[in-house]
Amino acid sequence: MPVNPHPAKTRRPASAATADDTPTRLVRAAMLEFNESGFGGTDTNRIARRAGFAPQTFYRWFKDKTDVFINAYRLWETEEREMISGLLAKRASADMLVEACVAHHRAHLRFRRSLRQLSLEDPVVRAARAESRLRQIEQIKRWRGTPRANAAEIATALLQFERLSDALAEGEIADLGLDERAARKALAALLRVLRSAQ
């Protein structure tokens, strides 16, 4: 496998690039491929072709499929953060925030499944997921206006929120024959914990 001649470029969050540059197009194409076929069902040639490039272009920007997956995860994280920030700026209700988060998870089902699986199997993806969660914790502290807030409390609520959002998005609650309103109510309560200034 070729060595990436531009390793610094792979560390740049996808949102930092302009919408039409090569790495951004590759990351967006990768997100679509991963979401349609999962990590195992996606190859770098399909990513490059979907972005409108010859297959060898991929390796000018990313060292391998895991590298572009992590960049796609950063894109997903950025999109979620911007969505939530926009809703908070509009003073959206907890119910509106819950629905938006579940919809965002639902729109990325296979990608999220791949993320969970790779987090168990690949230490690089696991570390990237931990870094993402640490960024989320810091963002929540800023939203709260409490920089010294208890990170463990935030992490616990964040992990519960993430897992329950995935469960709703994937239909796990419905599979149990249960009413999803209780799960949505629990998500709203977790949002209150995450948003509180205590």
Cα–Cα distance for residue pair 18/22, rounded to 1 Å: 9
Whether the pLDDT of residue 145 is over 50: the answer is yes
Domain locations along the chain: 11-65, 73-195
% of the chain at pLDDT higher than 90? 73
Q: Over the stretch 10-46, which tens digit does the pLDDT of each residue have?
A: 444 444 444 469 999 999 999 999 999 999 999 999 9
Superfamily for the 11-65 domain? Homeodomain-like (1.10.10.60)
Q: Copy the structure tokens of residue 26.
A: 């590759």
Q: Copy the structure tokens of residue 44.
A: 């770098």
Q: Which residue has the tokens 């197009």?
A: 25
Q: Over the stretch 40-54, which tens digit does the pLDDT of each residue have?
A: 999 999 999 999 999
Helix, strand or coil for residue 33? helix
Kindly report the number of other CB atoms within 10 A of residue 168's CB atom: 23
Quote the pLDDT of residue 7: 40
Q: At residue 14, what is the residue type?
A: A
Q: Over the stretch 150-188, which tens digit does the pLDDT of each residue have?
A: 889 899 999 999 999 999 999 999 999 999 999 999 999
Q: Which residue has the tokens 């995935």?
A: 166
* pTM exceeding 0.85: no
Q: At residue 36, what is the residue type?
A: E
Q: Copy the structure tokens of residue 63.
A: 């060292």
